[in-house]
Amino acid sequence: MSLDNKVILITGAAQGFGRAIALDCARNGAAVIACDLDDCAASLELIEAEGATALGLSFDITDNSACAGAVKQALAKFDRLDGLVNCGALYGALNMGPFEYIDPDEWDLAMKVNVRGTWQMCKAVSPCMRAAKNGSIVNISSNSALFGPALMCHYVASKAAVIGLTRTIASELGQDNIRVNAVCPGAMNTEGSAKAAGDNLQAILESSPRPRLNYPFMEPEQVTGTIKFLLSDDSTMMTGQILTSDAGMTTL
């Protein structure tokens, strides 16, 4: 399973899962555009250490013109875009608590970043992918959208929306040979997870009675292979699909 000669843009790549995805793409032959609201210099250094050609971009995925501008910069350097991974999202910065007490402004911000940001990036890459009649978009949802843990209603609702977004955009882009899939990871050992969970970690992990492998927190590198598969030519007949990688936490 190779990404040789592919050009992949990853949002949320300044740290955590997004950085791990970017590094895995680089190790498997892709040129990488590492994007985030925060500076991606540290990630870019690691990516280039893998021998990959890379570009780092800092912009706000909730800014429609900034999304289009980032794609324009990527095309100016690489002349094409084969894949997009929408990993940029609000998670650790959200205040967790009972749904009755979630601040409406924070609810709106979660939807703006996690849903609108994903939609806008899909929209930004669609013209060049349509022109090439090829492309793979991978949206990062969450297993929380499948089993509904307590105390994070705004985050869960936003990630459930990403699933619906994935399926409808897949329907619209399929005629141009563009695949759109989503991955629902479980809790990972990242900066965002540590910040989000806090004292509620055990309650969140125990809120599902379903069996799971012995991974309270998975490492990001244990999930990146799923992303790589969806970006690769090994998954050319898959679109509109939702893949769960969560050590069995949502096993039915």
Residue from 227, 222, 143, 146 nearest 185 by CA: 143
Q: Which residue matches tokens 């402004």?
A: 105
Two tokens at 170?
């897949």
Q: Catalytic amino acids?
A: 155
Question: Which H helix or E strand runs over 104?
Answer: helix 104-111
Within 10 Å of residue 44's Cβ, how many Cβ atoms? 22
> CA torsion 185→190→195→201, rounded to 10°?
60
Cα–Cα dist 120/78, whole Å: 21
Q: Residue 88 in contact with residue 113, Cβ under 8 Å?
A: yes
For the four alpha carbons of 240, 116, 107 and 192, in that order, the dihedral sign comes to positive
Separation CA 208–CA 210 (nearest Å): 5
